[in-house]
Amino acid sequence: MIQRVSEAQVIVDSRTVGKIGRGLLVLLGVEQGDSARDSALAAGRIMGLRIFADAAGKMNLNLKDAGGQLLVVSQFTLFADLSRGRRPSFAKAAAPEQARRLYEDFIGRCCAAGATVEHGEFGALMQVRLTGDGPVTIIFDSRSG
């Protein structure tokens, strides 16, 4: 899930571990079966996403062109299955080792593409604070292209 923000931060145990100004907050979920191909596709798509306004006010600029920053937060709960009962199942989420590897791979790819990247702490209980800009919220699934 991608949100355009005016600012965002991640807090773990009362300390800020990641903070950005204008940019994108990415809640990154890794599903069973995801691979480096999915990480590369997501990073490329998100880095090229033209959702920032140009001088004419049109959504025409990507993160780098807009001078924005990226905040990436691991979010296995994106794969919650609510089809049975009242307690969500997270069986579709990748195992922690695989998820961490692809989370770090995604961050590395975004850095290599020239983004200023901050991130949460994988596996920690985190508070995410944000000021949405727009609001603009986009759900992207690498399996859907």
- Neighbouring-strand partners of residue 16: 11
Asked if 122 is an active-site residue, the reply is no
Q: Phi and psi dihedrals of 109, rounded to 5?
A: -65, -40
- The domain segmentation of the chain, as residue ranges, is 2-136
Is a pLDDT exceeding 90 seen at residue 93?
yes
Taking the C-alpha atoms of residue 68 and residue 47, their distance in angstroms, rounded to an integer, is 10
- Amino acid at position 3, single letter: Q
Q: What is the pLDDT of residue 144?
A: 78
Q: How confident is the model at residue 106 (pLDDT cuts 50, 70, 90)?
A: very high
Taking the C-alpha atoms of residue 46 and residue 4, their distance in angstroms, rounded to an integer, is 11
The one catalytic residue among 3, 9, 76, 106 = 76
The one catalytic residue among 16, 77, 127, 137 = 77
- For residues 18-33, give the mean pLDDT: 97
E strand or H helix at 40: helix 36-48
pTM over 0.75, yes/no = yes
Q: How confident is the model at residue 145 (pLDDT cuts 50, 70, 90)?
A: low
Q: How confident is the model at residue 92 (pLDDT cuts 50, 70, 90)?
A: very high
Taking the C-alpha atoms of residue 69 and residue 58, their distance in angstroms, rounded to an integer, is 19
Quickly tell me which residue has 């692809």 as its tokens.
102
How confident is the model over 55-64, as pLDDT tens digits?
999 999 999 9
Question: ∠ at Cα 78 (35, 98), nearest 5°?
Answer: 30
- For residues 68-93, give the mean pLDDT: 95
Is a pLDDT exceeding 80 seen at residue 47?
yes
- Amino acid at position 43, single letter: A
Q: Is domain 2-136 classified as CATH 3.40.120.10?
A: no
Determine the distance from the C-alpha atom of residue 105 to the mean position of all C-alpha atoms in its chain, rounded to a whole number: 13
Asked if 75 is an active-site residue, the reply is yes
